[in-house]
Structure 1
Amino acid sequence: MELDLAKEQLPSTQSKVNDHTPDHINQQIERETEASVNYYKRQGEGEIQARINELDYEWDTERLMKVNMASVAALSTLLAVKGNRKWALLAGASSAAIIQHALQGWTPAIVVFRKLGVRTVDEINREKKALQNLLNKPE
């Protein structure tokens, strides 16, 4: 019963970021992904494989969020220890933002990242799968 309650209150791990991103931004990211796949349809296998390799290293929203919030927490903790203790409030806010993102998929930083075109791991994997399908396409 508790698990059912959690399912009702928490968004899906795979859709939480998209669910909290305005539709026009999700659509823009989708259009850019489709444009990339369409570009590579006209390229050779080497170029397609190189793009797949690039995608293996593309930073997704989760990684960017974790690095940014952890960096803010570490820097503000250091400033609190070395200087003014009020900096500890920023470390606490950063930790709260990480927790909120993990549970709900939304933070102000994610809104900015999405506007900048940062994709979720699922969106990156969709492009990879489409490119892999181009490589495996019978001629």
Structure 2
Amino acid sequence: MATTANRVSAQTSDEINNRLRWQMEERLAYYEAHPDQIAARLAELDREWDIERTLEANASSLAFTGTILAATVDKRWLHCRQS
């Protein structure tokens, strides 16, 4: 069983893994040659949302919308239907 650290790469084709590795090495070489750009890139990465943060925001928005609809439109918005 793949560990958490390599679970995705273990399920990805060698061609894609090699391309990703090459792209990473290219980026590292660029920032090694341009160390003044590192702080700006780190700030840019800090502003990006990862998938977990996106999913949490989406779930919170849906729950809040359901609560508002139940309070203003119809109480049936609170009903959870299970099959």
| TM value normalised by structure 2 | 0.57
* Alpha-carbon distance change, 71 to 39 in structure 1, aligned in 2, over 3 angstroms: same
Deviation string 1:51-80 (CA, Å, 9 cap, x unpaired) is 112112221122111111001100111001
The size of the alignment, in residue pairs, is 71
Q: Where in structure 2 are there 5+ consecutive unaligned residues? A: none
Q: How does 1:1-139 map to 2 (within 5 A)?
A: 18=8, 23=12, 31=20, 35=23, 38-39=26-27, 41-43=29-31, 44-89=34-79
Q: Where in structure 1 are there 5+ consecutive unaligned residues? A: 1-11, 94-139
1:36 Cα offset (Å): 5.6
Cα RMSD between the aligned structures? 3.5
In 2, are the aligned partners of 1:40 and 1:48 still within 8 Å (CA)?
no
* Alpha-carbon distance change, 50 to 37 in structure 1, aligned in 2, over 3 angstroms: farther
Letter matched to residue 77 of structure 2: W
Computing the radius of gyration from Cα coordinates, the structure with the larger value is 2
1:38 Cα offset (Å): 1.6
1:86 is paired with a residue of what secondary structure?
A: helix
In 2, are the aligned partners of 1:76 and 1:87 still within 8 Å (CA)?
yes
